[in-house]
């Protein structure tokens, strides 16, 4: 297994959104955070030889991180076809030998029925801008349906919500950690050149 920092370096070539849509909360997860999530999952035995599904894959950051760690198959799913085109180019740039299926679909009603041990990874929309708090709820519900383990990034102070949602859906939060990252200015309503985002990452085992 390569180191976490080597993985972050490999993911640094992953291009972000050309025309980001605020409504879909389109921003690229920084390579360092993606590498931390995937490396942690790999150490837990949650990537190698497993089906890995990235819900809301965007330009493919998490899917490609997983593809570099020996999964049986990777699926990157997004509602918007434009970033999926970039994800295909990013796959070539990253140079992973693993196949990735890029699927255009709604993550809350995915056309997927995985036939084997499955890990979901995701950085779903938080719903903060749209006033639609916990837009991540539908993504977690999908993880509960199709995966036996998931890793998800949420906004700060989501732990109570995530733990109670998981408990209601037959899940256990086994790991939780905080992460901070810089989001460059990309939407008109962003006032500063970059903003510090506080996030929380959860590993959930689903029964």
Ligand X SMILES: C[S@@+](CC[C@H](N)C(=O)[O-])C[C@H]1O[C@@H](n2cnc3c(N)ncnc32)[C@H](O)[C@@H]1O
Q: What residues make contact with ligand X under the rule CB under 6 A?
A: 24-29, 56-58, 61-62, 78-80, 83, 106-108, 123, 125
Spatial distance between the Cα atoms of 39 and 168, rounded to a whole number of angstroms? 28
Nearer to ligand X, 46 or 78 (CB): 78
Nearer to ligand X, 101 or 167 (CB): 101
Query: In Å, how far are 44, 67, 155 from 82, measured between CA atoms?
Result: 33, 21, 25
Nearer to ligand X, 150 or 207 (CB): 150
Count of C-beta atoms within a 10 Å radius of residue 132: 12
DSSP codes, 59-95: TTHHHHHHHTT--SEEEEEES-HHHHHHHHHHHHHHT
Nearer to ligand X, 167 or 185 (CB): 185
For residue 153, give both structure tokens. 């990034």
Spatial distance between the Cα atoms of 62 and 76, rounded to a whole number of angstroms? 9
Shortest separation between residue 47's beta carbon and ligand X, angstroms = 16
Shortest separation between residue 147's beta carbon and ligand X, angstroms = 15
CA 138 from centre of chain: 14
Shortest separation between residue 169's beta carbon and ligand X, angstroms = 18
Nearer to ligand X, 61 or 149 (CB): 61
Shortest separation between residue 136's beta carbon and ligand X, angstroms = 10
Shortest separation between residue 13's beta carbon and ligand X, angstroms = 13
Helix, strand, coil % over all residues of the chain, rounded to 5 = 30, 25, 40
Q: In the chain, what is the straight-line distance between the N-terminal and C-terminal CA atoms, in Å? A: 28
Nearer to ligand X, 80 or 169 (CB): 80
Q: Phi and psi dihedrals of 188, rounded to 5?
A: -60, -35
Shortest separation between residue 75's beta carbon and ligand X, angstroms = 12
């Amino acid at each position: 297994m390569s180191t976490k920092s080597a993985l972050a370096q490999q993911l640094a070539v992953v291009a972000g959104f050309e025309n980001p849509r605020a409504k879909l909360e389109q921003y690229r997860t920084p390579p360092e955070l993606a590498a931390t999530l995937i490396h942690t999952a790999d150490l837990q035995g949650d990537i190698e030889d497993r089906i890995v599904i990235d819900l809301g894959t965007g330009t493919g950051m998490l899917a490609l991180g997983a593809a570099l760690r020996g999964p049986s198959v990777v699926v990157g799913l997004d509602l918007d076809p434009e970033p999926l085109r970039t994800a295909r180019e990013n796959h070539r740039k990253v140079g992973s030998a693993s196949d990735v299926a890029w699927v255009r679909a709604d993550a809350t009603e995915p056309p997927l029925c995985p036939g084997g041990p499955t890990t979901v990874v995701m950085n779903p929309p938080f719903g903060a801008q749209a006033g639609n708090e916990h837009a991540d709820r539908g993504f977690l519900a999908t993880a509960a349906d199709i995966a036996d383990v998931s890793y998800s990034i949420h906004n700060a102070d989501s732990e109570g919500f995530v733990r109670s949602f998981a408990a209601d859906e037959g899940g256990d939060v086994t790991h939780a950690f905080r992460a901070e990252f810089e989001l460059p200015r990309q939407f008109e309503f962003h006032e500063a050149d970059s903003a510090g985002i506080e996030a929380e990452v959860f590993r959930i085992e689903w029964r």
